[in-house]
Structure 1
């Protein structure tokens, strides 16, 4: 594999303490967007040889997150190798001393004035100029504030994104204008105290978020429900299928689960496997034909 950690300056002069890899295959480079140095971890699997186009997974850390540390927690590298996709962990810029994602355009819901949507556009352009990527299979995944970013891209940069996954995240109110049916998978714990499952005065409930995409995609309103109580936590799986372009909306409900990237498995699959298994079924035109 090839692992690249791109590092640059923060939005202010605060000292950064991001983790650095001791892996001999790592090196440090810089990408610039709107005059600001931006960074990301890039993982290219050994199976990549450039002879055919491959998907890209963008995986966004949460508020205060470190891209390299997050890669070790929300690790999709084994899947990148076996399924032959390029994996990117972008790094957010500082807000009040903590890295963050600005998941809305400038307006009432935006966290800052950082142009993270533009950064991701520039990042995709950079990667596509150096690697043979399938531009119809770029996926956005995120944890917590990173899940907000994934939903932000689904709403405001849908011409780039084929499907999204949110783990312990939330969708903000700055919705639309999504340009195509958008497959969505959302994983969330019922005891999440940071982004409560039932919402609060600041964040939408999980069901409100699901309902938004169920209605947008015109899926079945009654879900198919599966259960797994064989592990340390009970997990319920809801499938809202038969949407436009054959897309679906899916939800994994972790009974008693907290605000984490989940370690518990569902029917033998971990969180990364559940996410990739869902995303890989779709391209930007809807359900893929295999």
Structure 2
């Protein structure tokens, strides 16, 4: 079988010559070259990295190397903003391939995780695995071997020629793939992903976000199935015209999805230590909030209600979610109330930051969500399913932060939360 796989790839294309995003930014020279069990990895840790920060591992394709993977994906650009460690490992078998049938490389991944914990005190519950082409195949294979070590998986252009594996547990998956892929054809993607949708008992029908923004491919579509078993979601980003190449155009979408998860479940809904640099409030919690009054049973079984905060903006298309405590009383300390998936009102303390009072959120005439007066603040946009669809840093002026399918969106700016629609 191994010989057949190598022949398949060698006969298809020379992997080292594929095109991709590339260009600009840092190079692999900005990474630290390390050895784990005698094998090479390249590590990027942003300055000022906090303990208990996440780790993302990005695996290259066959006959490629960490330099090629880094120069096309530039994960460090996201890591600098979100605060996590990036590792580019090198495949250890012939043609720089990955073991997609045994446990040689999955065991090595665990050793890498342990080493990153020793070196950077990463949060072992928030480790994410991604990979391109054969690296994507290995990402799928890892679901059957080390799903207890990996919180979420992001295979790119990597349907496994060995077939779909049986995952150890329901896991969050995001899979970008180009429609013009001539190595691992796009027409295999739907059936391959369905194996995991069936395993995790996902809904048959996906939420479709057409004209999904992607820096390289117009007319992209994001398909989302969920919630599935254990509350996980499966996403597929269909990229019209994209061939077989990794790209930095996809890394933000990947990060915005995977960062929501720990090995115990969704961030904010699981027992885990969070890094404030990379994990906003649970998107499911925020998306279930309402500007017209957050309602739900409190811990005593009573219904807690909040009245309008009165923080409506002149555009009339958004409002600030009112303050409410876990007991259902309005808080005088400035806590933003949100409704958790368990139906219990929770509170998120607001910092004493008067500049947040100047923030406004509204829909522009050309159908964009616009945020004004949010300089230096983290801006996160959630769709109606509670999925993060955009994360950016605020500017001092008006800025367009997201456009997409019609529906209700929740926008979190710092510790303030707004509701708007497209």
TM class by smaller structure: 0.7 to 0.9
Aligned with 1:219 (options 195, 199, 202):
202
The CA distance in 1 between the partners of 2:63 and 2:74, in whole Å, is: 18
Aligned to 1:31: 36
Residue of structure 1 in register with 2:228 after alignment: 243
| Distance 1:247-1:197 versus aligned 2 partners, 3 A rule | same
* Compared CA separation, residues 54 and 232, structure 1 to 2 (3 A): closer
Q: TM-score, normalised by structure 1?
A: 0.77
The structure-2 alpha-carbon separation of the partners of 1:28 and 1:278, relative to structure 1 and needing over 3 Å to count, comes to closer
Matched, 1:120 2:105: no
Tell me the secondary structure at the aligned position of residue 81 of structure 1. Answer: helix
Tell me, in whole angstroms, the C-alpha distance in 2 between the residues paired with 1:218 and 1:188.
23
1:173 aligns with 2:172: no
Q: 1:28 to 1:180 in 2, by over 3 A?
A: closer
Could you list the per-position Cα deviations for residues 243-277 of structure 1 after superposition, in whole angstroms to 9, with x for gaps in the alignment? 122210001111232111246xxxxxx30100001
CA contact (8 A) 1:184 1:213 kept: no
**Residues 128, 22 of structure 1: CA spacing in aligned structure 2 closer, same or farther, 3 A cutoff?**
closer
d(CA) in 2 for partners of 1:40, 1:229: 34
Distance in 1 between residues matched to 2:85 and 2:33, nearest whole Å: 18
Structure-2 change in CA distance of 1:81 and 1:255 (3 Å): same
Unpaired segments ≥5 residues, structure 2 = 1-26, 269-280, 282-422
* 1:280 and 2:226 matched: no
- Alpha-carbon distance between aligned partners in 1 of 2:147 and 2:206, rounded to the nearest angstrom: 25
In structure 2, C-alpha distance between the alignment counterparts of 1:288 and 1:93, rounded to whole Å: 33
Structure 1 residue runs without a partner (length 5+): 1-20, 107-114, 199-204, 264-269
The question of 1:105 aligning with 2:139 is answered no
Mapped to 1, the partners of 2:34 and 2:267 lie a distance apart of 35
> How far apart are residue 66 of structure 1 and its match?
1.3
Aligned pair count reads 241
| Aligned partner of residue 143 in structure 2, secondary structure | helix
Which one has more relative contact order, counting CA pairs under 8 Å at least 6 apart? 1
Could you state the TM-score of these two structures normalised by the residue count of structure 2? 0.54
Q: 1:92 to 1:190 in 2, by over 3 A?
A: same
CA deviation string 1:117-152 (max 9, x = no partner): 121121112111222111111110000000011111
* 1:152-163 paired onto structure 2 within 5 Å: 152-163=141-152
Structure 1's consecutive aligned runs of 4 or more residues displaced over 6 angstroms after TM superposition are: none
Alignment of 1:1-290 (within 5 A): 23=29, 28-32=33-37, 37-50=38-51, 53-95=52-94, 98-105=95-102, 115-171=104-160, 172-173=162-163, 175-176=165-166, 178-198=167-187, 205-228=188-211, 232-262=217-247, 270-289=249-268, 290=281
- Provide the secondary structure at the position in 1 that maps to 2:125: strand
